[in-house]
Amino acid sequence: MSNRRACGRRSALAVRGSGVPGSCVLAAGLALWLAGCVALRPAHEALPSRHTLVRGQLVIYSDFALPAHHRLVEELAALRGDLLAMLAMPGSDEPIHVYLFDTPERFRTFLQKWYTGLPERRAFFLRSDTRLVVLAHWGERVAEDLRHEVTHGYLHSVVPQLPLWLDEGLAEYAEVPRGRGGLHEPHLQLLLAEAAAGRWRPSLERLEQLASMSEMTQLDYAESWAWVHLMLHGDPGRRALLQSHLADLRRQGTAVPLSLELRRWFPSSDEALMQYLSQLAAPK
């Protein structure tokens, strides 16, 4: 599935990428390049650059021509409005630079040449102090990958200090095609199967303790998605708590853990999440 996290440090940048969960790597050279280091200009020149398409916050660079109103580009642009409305967040005009490689081979060659040590992924979201970047290659799952990674960009342009679980939960929610209400069927089935086997019970407090991508398992991604889905589609009071939490993070850079607020207003949230997942899976 996905494994994406970006930290805003100029000396070292944590890299999040689509494809396989479970790792967070440091790429100091990439952070310096994003900060504008002249010594790494060859890497910049090796990026796709023949065509540029601007849609809202997105600046999309590619070596192949994309129609100005390509349906995926339209969906990514519309995703911004969906997120801002759902989360009651203000907009940002900070550019999100999306570099699209035409083949997975060219993508891998670029990474292997300039940024050795990165795990093999289909896409990455990167954040330095001054730049938001998505790297991806055009392939069968590019829509899923871009919805996820661009969501990180939209979120970080407004709320830079997102808790890891919430950042990933929102991106997992948004990687589902538009119009499906964020219902991530593989995550839903995984959680129900693990719960039935006695290997999983929800715990938002546990998720809040996760500090790096290397700690996150596929089950953690699924649970993060589940909490987000419950808060966005369950009791309206939970959505209001989520919106308030994000507003505090945006204004102050920190906030009371969301688990504490949920416990205060919804004391049986763990049980509510289990019931909610069962309802999602019930035949309609």
- Paired with 125 in beta bridges are 16, 134
List the domain boundaries for the chain. Answer: 2-158, 185-281
Selection from 162, 277, 266, 176 nearest residue 227 by Cα? 277
pTM, whole model, 2 decimals? 0.88
Find where tokens 């993060």 sit. Answer: 224
CA distance 75 to 67: 13
Burial 227-256 (b: 16+ CB within 10 A, else e): bbbbbbbbeeebbebbbebbbbbbeeeebe
All residues at 6 or more sequence positions from 59 whose CB lies less than 8 Å from its CB, including other chains:
52, 53, 95, 96, 97, 98
* Cα–Cα distance for residue pair 189/58, rounded to 1 Å: 33
| Number of Cβ atoms within 10 Å of the Cβ of 18 | 27
Residues 6+ apart with CB under 8 A from 130: 34, 35, 36
In the Cβ-directed half-sphere of 233, how many Cα atoms lie within 13 Å? 17
Q: Please list the pLDDT of the chain residue by residue as tens digits (284 residues).
A: 344 433 322 223 445 566 544 323 333 344 434 433 333 345 666 899 999 999 999 999 999 999 989 999 999 999 999 999 999 999 999 999 999 999 999 999 998 888 776 677 899 999 988 999 999 999 999 999 999 999 999 999 999 999 999 999 999 999 999 999 999 999 999 999 999 999 999 999 999 999 988 899 999 999 999 999 999 999 999 999 999 999 999 999 999 999 999 999 999 999 999 999 999 999 87
Show the tokens assigned to 50.
């023949």
Give the residue from 257, 253, 172, 182 showing the smallest Cα distance to 219.
172
Burial of 135 (0-12, 13-18, 19+ CB in 10 A): buried
- The CATH superfamily label for domain 2-158 reads Collagenase ColT, N-terminal domain (3.40.30.160)
Buried residues in 32-68 as b, exposed as e (16+ CB within 10 A): bbbbeeeebeebeeebbeeeebebbbbbbbbbeebee
Residue 237 structure tokens: 């009071």
Residue 148's SS3 state is: helix
3-state SS assignment for residue 126: strand
Task: Find the Cα–Cα–Cα–Cα dihedral 257, 186, 171, 105, rounded to 10°.
Answer: 140
Look at residue 36 and give its three-state secondary structure. coil
